[in-house]
Amino acid sequence: MPLIRNILLKNSKYLCGVVLLSFIAVICISMTERNDFDMARREILLRKIGHELLLQSGDSTSRVLPVKKIAGNEYLIAFEQELTFRTDSLVSTTQSILAKDPLANDYVVNVLNCDNSSVAYGYAISKNRKNDIVACKGRVQPKACYLISIKFKPTGINIAKHGYLLGSLPFLAFVGFIFLRSVKPRRVLPDGNQHTGVIIFGSVSFDTKNRKLTANGRTTDLTGTETRLLRIFALSPNQTIERSRLQKEIWEDEGVIVGRSLDMFISKLRKKLEFDPNISIVVIRGKGYRLKID
């Protein structure tokens, strides 16, 4: 008996760790299944938004194309045919339909032009209605090819609502303490200051280290994000770069929430490249972008 007792005491912490890890695994599996269900339900609601917009445009026959998830919390609604819409109708439609999504408390809607991804109309909805940003109500947008981008604010509501968050914190802390020393530092994607060298494309000299564009004696400064984004394009001129790759390499690998749309950064780069008419960033519909150099 003493021998058995000693063995049990010696290994009790390991047995306890196994039990706790098993319990956490069960919780994580349940959370994942629930999250998958919520995401599938959300995509159906987004398709319904597209359907209602087509009906309001007088189109009852053309299709809403498959909803695309272009980032962790960003979705894209596309249409088979051109359409028109009233800004106030779009706002009320998305609000009424997304009210059925318990996780859709805060989100930003941008209506993009298909040809260049410029923002034709946009607004922000918040759980606190005082923080809503809605402008230009009552205006009718011209009939054209539009994409509806809806980006949701990430939340932990799903976890908290089901009691998982409070229940799992002690166990997560325990696991973190055990494996803290064995965890390797996560790779951090280097920023623009760590890049070296000058890249030449067209008549443009792109200094990645100092974040500058120079052409015809004119120099333009770039932000860190613009530098990293343009570097990807400059290293693969006239090649299509998938949107998912840009999202991943610029933001996702760093574990940082994308606060601004990729399309906004693309638009800024276009303006800074305008002084060379032979260079442009074009949209490859359904795929991504391309740095076109004539």
pTM: 0.45
Whats the size of the chain, residue-wise?
294
pLDDT of residue 286: 86
Report yes or no on 104 lying in a domain.
yes
Residue 135 sits in the same domain as residue 58: yes
Residue 232 sits in the same domain as residue 147: no
Report yes or no on 165 lying in a domain.
no
Q: Which of 137, 152, 167 is the last residue of a domain?
A: 152
Residue 132 sits in the same domain as residue 209: no
Report yes or no on 211 lying in a domain.
yes
Q: How many domains does the chain have?
A: 2
Give the separation between CA 32 and CA 43, rounded to whole angstroms: 17
Domain that holds residue 120: 34-152
Report yes or no on 286 lying in a domain.
yes
Q: Which of 101, 131, 152 is the last residue of a domain?
A: 152
For position 287, which CATH number holds?
Answer: 1.10.10.10
User: With the C-alpha atoms ordered 147, 153, 154, 158, is the resulting torsion angle positive or negative?
Assistant: negative
Give the separation between CA 227 and CA 10, rounded to whole angstroms: 56
Residue 210 sits in the same domain as residue 122: no
Residue 238 sits in the same domain as residue 289: yes
Residue 204 sits in the same domain as residue 143: no
Report yes or no on 99 lying in a domain.
yes
Mean pLDDT score across all residues of the chain: 77
Residue 141 sits in the same domain as residue 221: no
Give the separation between CA 75 and CA 68, rounded to whole angstroms: 6
Residue with tokens 């965890």: 183
Residue 216 sits in the same domain as residue 145: no
Q: Which of 152, 182, 204 is the last residue of a domain?
A: 152
Residue 148 sits in the same domain as residue 224: no
Residue 201 sits in the same domain as residue 147: no
pLDDT mean values, one per 10 residues, the chain (294 residues)? 50 58 58 67 90 92 91 89 91 90 87 90 85 82 93 65 51 56 41 60 87 85 89 91 86 56 85 85 89 87
Report yes or no on 25 lying in a domain.
no
Report yes or no on 1 lying in a domain.
no
DSSP letter assigned to residue 128: S
Residue 108 sits in the same domain as residue 200: no
Residue 136 sits in the same domain as residue 201: no
pLDDT tens string 109-166: 999 999 888 998 999 998 877 778 887 777 899 999 999 999 998 865 444 444 444 4
Report yes or no on 157 lying in a domain.
no
pLDDT of residue 278: 87
Residue (of 94, 93, 87) closest to 152 by Cα position: 94
